[in-house]
Structure 1
Amino acid sequence: MAGSRWSIEELFQTGKGQVGLDHYQVRSWTGWHRFVTLAMLAPAVLTILAATAQQPDAAPTIIALTVAEIRRLLNAFVLAASLPPEHTLRWSIWRRTSQARARRSNYQRRQAI
């Protein structure tokens, strides 16, 4: 029972950080229930999108799409369409390439110790 608590706490932290689970301001049970249902559905949809996204090849020049990156892309394309989509996609690729470079460097540093 204690082991399952950690995964539940981790899911709540993800919900708070990624989809604003802790930002509700409702006064009734019905409003709270609707908000929490949608806030818990959002990370599930993001997780499914991340799991079904095409994974990079064996050469780690770019990391796979993460839940946070998919959320950023959806926000950029749906909510704030001020920049052209090509710019947003190039920015995402640059960001994930930089993260892959940092990951490789971190692994090399750990192996040297």
Structure 2
Amino acid sequence: MFQLAINYRSHAGIVDCAHSIIDLIMIFWEDSIDRLSPEMGIVDGVKPVFFNNEDHAQLKRFIFGDRGKPIEFGAQQCIIVRNETAREKLRQQVGEVGLVLTVYESKGLEFNDV
């Protein structure tokens, strides 16, 4: 089987995060996907930050910063949520900040910051 081992599209932080998720899938559902060698990103980058529904304070600090004013989201930034319910809940917590898309809506789109 031929395998692509270098990811030219995403930086190493994202590639490593994706590999961590694949590792968990392999642990809990080992026969659900094919075993492949981990991909490598050719450019270093920061690891993604995930927010859960439990830590509202951390989410607000991220969006509003230390000064309490929302950070500016431009056309190249996006927040991705699981579904419409999660989007509405986020809007209730932090208001109308930036572009918030569901996973389905974001398919095929590209952003500099997600």
Q: Under a length normalisation based on structure 1, what TM-score does the superposition of the two structures give?
A: 0.27
Kindly indicate which of the two structures has a greater share of residues assigned to helix. Answer: 1
| Structure with greater strand percent | 2
Name the larger-Rg structure. 1
Structure with more relative contact order (C-alpha pairs < 8 Å, separation 6 or more): 2
Per the normalisation by structure 2, the TM-score is: 0.27
